[in-house]
Structure 1
Amino acid sequence: MAPVLALVRRVPLVVLTLVVGAAALALVAVGLEPAARWGVSLYALAIAAVEAVRMIRGLLARRLGLDVLAVTAIVSTVAVGEYAASLIIVLMLTGGEALEVAAAGRAQRELRALLERVPQQAHRIDSTGGIVDIAADQVRVGDRLLVRPAELVPVDSALVSAAASIDESSLTGESMPVDKQAGDAVLSGSLNGAAAVEVVAMAVAADSQYQRIVELVREATASTAPLVRLADRYAVPFTAVSLAIAGVAWMLSGDPVRFAEVLVVATPCPLLIAAPVAFMGGMSSAAKRGIVMKSAASLEVLARARTVAFDKTGTLTAGHPAVVGVHPEPGVSADELLRLVGSAERYSSHVLAAALRDAAAGAGLLLADSDDAREEATFGVAATIDGRSVVVGKPAFVEQRATGVRRSAIERGRAVVYAGVDGVFAGTIELRDGVRPEAARTLAALRRAGLERTIMLTGDVEATARPIAEGLGIAEVHAECLPEDKVALVRWAQPRPVIMVGDGVNDAPVLAVADVGVAMGATGSTAASESADVVIMVDDLTRVAWAVVIGQRTVRIALQSIGLGIAVSIALMLVAAAGLLPAVAGALLQELVDLLAILGALRAVRAGRAPMPGLDGVEARGAGARPMRASEVLRP
């Protein structure tokens, strides 16, 4: 009994239609055919009235939907006495919705799997070495945790044990376990191997990688696919053609039944079902590769994109620059310059700040606090350190606050940070950031996918940005850009649509203004991820190319499914117009068309599995992807 009740709750109209059909058969069997005809006709007209309300609402909103044909088909079959055909049409409409739900459920399998794997519990190691079980959301940064065999890692952590084998398939799509060493990052939601390991929490549950994925997926599953609306673009021509064929068939035959027979096979279920199923499949396929689409609309825009703009640091480059030279002025030691600069950079969100702090800490220098530090985004930081006025940043920024600034020749591919102490130029520090190993392959794949224009937008100086761009084959470089400069450049860029790829806090505005903003969410800022339409949840730039290709394949599959449904429907209409397809047979054949459209649309579930030239062999993590160390996860 319980399964029957569950079925009724899931698809009540389908069950009711079947009950009406069974009752009509019973009435016909006992010789009460008129009662069966009236009962079925009234029920069909009631369903038509519900559809008509939707149709009128659409017309009032100046949108001609495909429900016009459905209502006309039901009314016409009832009018000519083909009540059995009208009941099959109703079953087709109600069953089509049920099939759509079932197919979407199949397409959302990976998305649901993410939601079901949220870590719930953690085993905290207390000061005495005892184990205390706590809820995952009670874990605090710095807590020592035990992860038992085959358990999920509750929060983003750093491995304390000497080694571990971790299954990251739910995060990266990598089917093989990943070997970790002490100090490596272990992401929440990954599955521990056969041995218990000890980790130290690097983030609370709400800020951990897996929880971020879950929240993004929840947003994505609530969105509406654009090709659901695209189906309505075919409404006017398809409706006009259908009515024209039906009208000509009636006129030539002189039989109104012929009009109803044509409209029976013109019902638009394939168009209504194919698009949403395909788009849910595409989103599911993208999620399997660690690409979370916040909105299904992003898939269509990605498929049409013609321009792509990249931030440099942390996007095209590894985002982890290292200090390669400290050049103090006379009277200032290298250690003192590095200590003061590192202290001031504690109050900066710039990507170079972490490298400067790490260099100072790595040299064993004690960093000091400041009560009046202030940052001017992309320019520099001014702070009072141990009673001394310190300014750090670009040369123009330091020149405004210190005398004697000497601009040094910048070696190609390096960045130089200038510093002033107590109003006097104190020296420079050189840094270098390497290009991501997978960057060239990603750009080549994007060009093959039809992207016509590639742009680099960066706050770095020309001398630092240009050699990196040239090495990657990017001819158009805009250096020393403020956030508002990036916004203006992307807003007016042609041809459109424009994809913007970035990872930093200062990329958030331009990600929001782009047609599709793509955030490198694995190591990028939360602000960038929140502003973006697409978030790459693994540290692998090739996923940008995969996102575009999945979008193209999904749209192609959706359009193919819609086109197939239209073609088969028109063919059946012509057969019916010739008087060779009775209404009941036509209605049954239309159910097969629905099934064909759904099966075609479900191919989008595999949109991210087919190989892509140039990226073969990097199906899961990518050749450029690598485990992130704890210091990279806990970036201030």
Structure 2
Amino acid sequence: MARLVSAIRVYPQVFATLVVAIAGLVLSATPAGHLTAWLVGGYSLLIAAVEAVSMIRQLIKGHAGLDILAVMAITAAVLVGEPWAALIVVLMLTGGTALEDYASNRSTQELTALLRQAPQTALLVSGSDLEDGAREVPVDEVVVGDILLVRPGSVVPVDAVLLTESAMFDESSLTGESLPVDRAAGEHVSSGAVNGSTAIRMRAVATADQSEYQQIVRLVEQAAGSKSKVVRLADRYAVPFTILSLAIASIAWAVSGDSVRFAEVLVVATPCPLLIAAPVAFLGGMSRAARHGLIVNSGQTLEQLSQVRSVAFDKTGTITTGHPSLERVIPAPGFNDDEVLQYAASAEAYSSHVLAGAVVAAGRAHGRALLESTGAEELPANGVTATFAAVPGRTEVTVRVGKPSWLRQFAPTLERVEVAPGELAIYVTVDDAPAGALVMRDQTRPEASEVMRDLHELGVTRTLMVTGDVAATAHIVAREVGIDEVHADCRPADKVHVVTDVQPRPLMMVGDGLNDAPVLAAADIGLAMGARGATAASESADIVNRFDTLAGVPQAVRIGKDTVRIALQSIWLGIAISVALMLVAAAGFLPAIAGAWLQEVVDLVAILGALRAIGPRSERKPALVPGRTTMTRVVAHTK
């Protein structure tokens, strides 16, 4: 009952039309049946008048609306004595909004899933005991430094640092990685990650509105409320479609000499399919994109994606992973690969340098246990010194890892090693003697070559790399993945200049960093690789790729092409069926009331056709892994 009352409140004209229809049927079976035509016809003219006022307002603003045909059809049907046909057209008009809402809700399930999953509350704690003094508060009240309790299966409410020794998280909704991820104390965890099987404590490092998940939610809200030029294409058909309909109706009237024929043609000329099909298709396209981790901020972007001819890429973090990995170990005389890697990883465990984590990860990946240090010190911009005891075959040793200019102060005989473009050497000394070097390299994404092939198959004729890196490195990476041309040593302003001059258009720029924000905004379409956080690049982009894969680039183009194709197909389908019905009605084979019912069928056909933009059934998997939608927040205020 509550749902019925809510529906009546939202769609009063639909229910009023149904009530009038029922009342008319009942009245026609009574001695006062002659009043039925007055009731049905009068109500229909009332609705026509309301629609006419809205139509006139649109005309004043310079928009020729298609509703003029519906108003004329209702009026003509009443005047020629077909009030029931007029009422059916009224039902079509008033029910059109309800049908569009249903289609919109159906096609935006994946978009709204993010909003439903958004944390609303958190648990704050003030003691060392996980449940000691825990209190639930709105997530918007979390401040940086609060200690949060996140219970098993709950979603991390804000970006935070893990305080518990270790924990496992499901980050599939953020990165697309299907396997659980282990995090250690001190590691950053983004909001939206789902906690594993044990309760944990975390310290907030951002407020709710600054956290990754809320940034994604805002992008989703922009996408859901957008309107594309293609959606407005229906308005372009208003004048010619109206002229054609009036011409057919007038000729039918003139040839037959029957004014009813005029009304019969106009009844099937009502243009609701044109008004509904395109918006539904674009909402479906944005929904499909969201399932692939692509948050599209406007329907306009989908239209441009369907026509994209050039694609430009940044290098680091876009074509490459942005996470250097160990390429090879070069040991000095007296040392072997395993020793150099073990010493380097053990010392780098005490460093905050951006490459330190990669060295530690390489040591663990090669099965080298980290040595326990008796003391460590980091010298910013130089390196780290660590002392280790109980090393097999040695007494206490001092290990230094860092840049060669610093290490030569302790090991004057240290020599540089030869590295290829795109490689970086990290040097190691043991007891002030050169021990060797680790050569690191930012690896290209394994899917990059296939992405370039896919783009060319989708009609992209020019691919570019626009990067601030040196030319030697950029050319090697470009050749490896199949990019057509390279623009290296570019500052942010240079990138904008390059992208502005590129032909053919439209052009899509793909980047990830702060320095990519200007060029993403300058491109026809900006796509940010924003899987690890909403940066300035994400704010400037038209599309944010939440999953850390380059495969989203051709997928975005493919979805854009499919969506526009389906939108135009739906528009032309509505026109074709309406014109065919008009010709049948003009020949006198389609009574007004039958034509009105057939037009309802045309509406449904157009909507169902547009819903194909949601994508094939095989793609329709949940966008997010199920989890608790409320957040447990424990906040302990620190001094």
Which TM bucket (shorter chain)? Answer: 0.7 to 0.9
After superposition, the Cα gap between the structure-2 partners of 1:240 and 1:492, relative to the gap in structure 1 and judged at 3 Å, is farther
Aligned length: 548
Q: How does 1:205-604 map to 2 (within 5 A)?
A: 205-321=208-324, 354-355=354-355, 364-367=377-380, 411-414=420-423, 432-523=441-532, 526-604=535-613
Distance 1:318 1:518 in 2: 16
Counterpart of 1:213 in structure 2: which amino acid? Answer: I
Counterpart of 2:322 in structure 1: which amino acid? Answer: G
Most deviating of 201-210 and 300-309: 201-210
TM-score between both structures, scaled by the size of structure 1: 0.77
| Structure 1 residue 530: Cα displacement | 0.9
SS at match of 1:218: helix
Counterpart of 2:285 in structure 1: which amino acid? Answer: G
Counterpart of 1:273 in structure 2: which amino acid? Answer: I
Most deviating of 217-226 and 299-308: 217-226
Counterpart of 2:208 in structure 1: which amino acid? Answer: A
SS at match of 2:589: coil
| Structure 1 residue 574: Cα displacement | 1.6
Cα deviation, 1:14-37, whole Å, max 9, x if unaligned, reads 111112222322332224455332
After superposition, the Cα gap between the structure-2 partners of 1:270 and 1:140, relative to the gap in structure 1 and judged at 3 Å, is same
| Structure 1 residue 591: Cα displacement | 0.6
SS at match of 1:365: strand
Q: How does 1:85-124 map to 2 (within 5 A)?
A: 85-124=85-124
Q: 1:384 is matched with which residue?
A: none
Q: 1:178 is matched with which residue?
A: 180
After superposition, the Cα gap between the structure-2 partners of 1:607 and 1:169, relative to the gap in structure 1 and judged at 3 Å, is farther
Cα deviation, 1:252-305, whole Å, max 9, x if unaligned, reads 211121111111111111111111111111112211222111112211111111
Contact 1:553 1:607 in 2 (8 A): no
Contact 1:282 1:607 in 2 (8 A): no
SS at match of 1:219: helix
Quick check: 1:22 aligned with 2:2? Answer: no
Contact 1:85 1:583 in 2 (8 A): yes
SS at match of 1:63: coil
| Structure 1 residue 54: Cα displacement | 3.2
SS at match of 2:295: strand
| Structure 1 residue 42: Cα displacement | 3.0
Q: 1:82 is matched with which residue?
A: 82
Most deviating of 195-204 and 287-296: 195-204
| Structure 1 residue 619: Cα displacement | 12
Give unpaired runs (5+ residues) of structure 2.
Answer: 329-347, 364-375, 383-404, 406-416, 427-437, 625-639
Counterpart of 1:585 in structure 2: which amino acid? Answer: A
SS at match of 1:412: coil
After superposition, the Cα gap between the structure-2 partners of 1:569 and 1:443, relative to the gap in structure 1 and judged at 3 Å, is same
| Structure 1 residue 524: Cα displacement | 5.7
SS at match of 2:222: helix
Distance 1:245 1:416 in 2: 79
Contact 1:410 1:463 in 2 (8 A): no
Counterpart of 1:503 in structure 2: which amino acid? Answer: D
Which has the higher Rg, Structure 1 or Structure 2? 2
Distance 1:181 1:550 in 2: 35
Q: 2:344 is matched with which residue?
A: none
TM-score between both structures, scaled by the size of structure 2: 0.77
SS at match of 1:518: strand
Distance 2:171 2:81 in 1: 61
Match of 2:151 among 143, 148, 152: 148
Contact 1:299 1:555 in 2 (8 A): yes
Quick check: 1:2 aligned with 2:5? Answer: no
Distance 2:623 2:48 in 1: 49
Counterpart of 2:527 in structure 1: which amino acid? Answer: V
SS at match of 1:535: strand
| Structure 1 residue 415: Cα displacement | 7.2
Contact 1:158 1:182 in 2 (8 A): no
Distance 2:484 2:424 in 1: 20
SS at match of 1:27: helix
Report percent identity of matched pairs: 55
Counterpart of 1:303 in structure 2: which amino acid? Answer: S
After superposition, the Cα gap between the structure-2 partners of 1:470 and 1:214, relative to the gap in structure 1 and judged at 3 Å, is same
After superposition, the Cα gap between the structure-2 partners of 1:128 and 1:356, relative to the gap in structure 1 and judged at 3 Å, is closer
SS at match of 2:217: helix
RMSD: 3.8
Most deviating of 41-50 and 72-81: 41-50
After superposition, the Cα gap between the structure-2 partners of 1:87 and 1:619, relative to the gap in structure 1 and judged at 3 Å, is closer
Distance 2:182 2:52 in 1: 61
Distance 1:524 1:156 in 2: 10
Distance 2:46 2:522 in 1: 46
Cα deviation, 1:463-520, whole Å, max 9, x if unaligned, reads 1211111111112111122222222222232111111111111211111121111111
